[in-house]
Amino acid sequence: MKIIKLEKYDAKTANRIRELLIQLSRSGKDKGEIPEEWFQDIINSPWHDLLMAVDDSGKIVGIATMSVVMGAGIRKNAYLEDFVTDQTVRGQGVGTALWEAMLFWAKAHDCQKLEFTSGHGREAAQKFYLNRGAEIYDTNFFRKDLDA
């Protein structure tokens, strides 16, 4: 297995990433294909990357979407938006390999922290993070739909 970043768009890769995102969130089932523009935005940005765990056969078995978030002054933090491993390979080290790649990515972008959220009912994911030194903050997460 190796960890690579998405560097070009193709429909097969896009479909596989969509399949993984559906495993992460049931709400993705009804949203259809991910637009090519989304992939191009990530590929062309110096502040975003999609990291992919690829097995020996070339199948994408995990992904992590990373972004740099600029804070006040000179502070930069990495933000993890999507992190999922295929349900067929969980517990086989894919998540750990992606986690290490995320930390390397964040440090390479001069980030001071890696920030992310983990939803309620995701005890296995939260245990994974805690076992790797992450802290849980008592906070409220807000989201405002800009189309409403």
pLDDT above 90: residue 97: yes
Asked if the structure places residue 146 within a domain, the reply is: no
The pTM of the full predicted model, rounded to 2 decimals, is 0.87
> Which residues, other chains included, contact 54 with Cβ-Cβ below 8 Å and sequence gap of 6+?
1, 2, 3, 4, 60, 61
- For the chain, the domain total comes to 1
Residue-range definition of the domain harbouring residue 94:
2-130
Counted residue by residue, the chain has a size of: 148
pLDDT of residue 134: 87
Q: How far apart are CA 67 and CA 109, in angstroms?
A: 10
Q: Round the average pLDDT of the chain to a whole number and report it.
A: 90
Phi, psi of 91 (to 5 degrees): 85, 5
Phi, psi of 52 (to 5 degrees): -130, 135
Q: What are 3's strand-pairing partners?
A: 53
- What is the domain-level CATH number for residue 27? 3.40.630.30
- 50-85 tens-digit pLDDT: 999 999 999 999 999 999 999 787 789 999 999 999
Asked if the structure places residue 145 within a domain, the reply is: no
Asked if the structure places residue 140 within a domain, the reply is: no
- 21-32 tens-digit pLDDT: 999 876 555 567
